[in-house]
Amino acid sequence: MIDLHGTWSRAWKGLGAHTAGDDLFTTLLTKYDEPHRHYHSRQHLIECLQYFDAVRHLPVHAAEVEVALWFHDAIYDLQRSDNEARSADWARAACLEGSVPVEVADRVQALILATRHTAVPTGLDEQVLIDIDLAILGAPPARFAEYERQIRAEYAWVPDAVFQSRRRAILQSFLDRSPLYSTAHFHAALDRTARDNLRYAIGEDRV
């Protein structure tokens, strides 16, 4: 099991913060443990940090990517569409309160905004972050199926027909991406399984 406090402390100190960040660590975990979260939960955070541990040598600013992972789903309100922006703003403010240099805080904010997945990631740090966030698409089939159930549970209030239509469109948009994963590491490790999972989920591989 990953040492959550250890990874947080390493990343926070790596930004040059002048505070221990323990209260912030506790607050972030409280957010990820909110009862309305089924996928965007502590489980997802842990999986992201585990993926990061395997590739922490890749990014230019490893601590910034790691802190961005901690904050990227920190605010998750199912009735709003600006969660990434609000999470990014919170991260920037927290960084500045910790005396992190402004240019570092700005880069962390920009990284989190990239998890809106509205554009192809640019720059190695952004590519590593987005590949990690999308790593669930290339999970083993059983975990991918669990992920799909978790997303449906988060949107249980949405009628089936509406949910299925919108969900297929989202998954198709990822399947259409070329490449799906920007870094050689994640492309080699996950691309084939991700595409198989996506095709099955949208019905292409079902009889």
Name the residue with tokens 């790593």: 135
pLDDT, tens digit (0-9, with 9 covering 90-100), for 119-169? 889 899 999 999 999 999 999 999 999 999 999 999 999 999 999 999 999
Same domain, 27 and 98: yes
Say whether pLDDT at 51 is over 80.
Answer: yes
Say whether pLDDT at 68 is over 50.
Answer: yes
Q: At what angle do helices 160-175 and 141-154 cross, to 10 degrees?
A: 130
> Of 118, 152, 179, which closes a domain?
118
Residue type, 153: A
pLDDT of amino acid 85: 97
> Of 65, 88, 118, which closes a domain?
118
Half-sphere exposure of 31 (CA within 13 A, CB side): 19
pLDDT of amino acid 118: 87
Same domain, 103 and 151: no
Structure confidence at residue 204 as a pLDDT band (50, 70, 90): low
Inside any domain, residue 147: yes
The whole-angstrom separation of Cα 104 and Cα 110 is: 10
Same domain, 39 and 79: yes
Q: What is the pTM of this model?
A: 0.95
Domain extent for 104: 1-118
Same domain, 105 and 141: no
Give how many domains the chain has, as a whole number: 2
Rounded (5°) CA angle 14-29-104: 30
Residue type, 76: Y
pLDDT, tens digit (0-9, with 9 covering 90-100), for 85-111? 999 999 999 999 999 999 999 999 999
The whole-angstrom separation of Cα 97 and Cα 94 is: 5
> Of 58, 86, 118, which closes a domain?
118
DSSP 138: G
Same domain, 49 and 113: yes
Same domain, 143 and 79: no
Give percent above pLDDT 90 in the chain.
94
Same domain, 174 and 107: no
Across residues 202-206, what is the average pLDDT?
A: 68
Inside any domain, residue 123: no
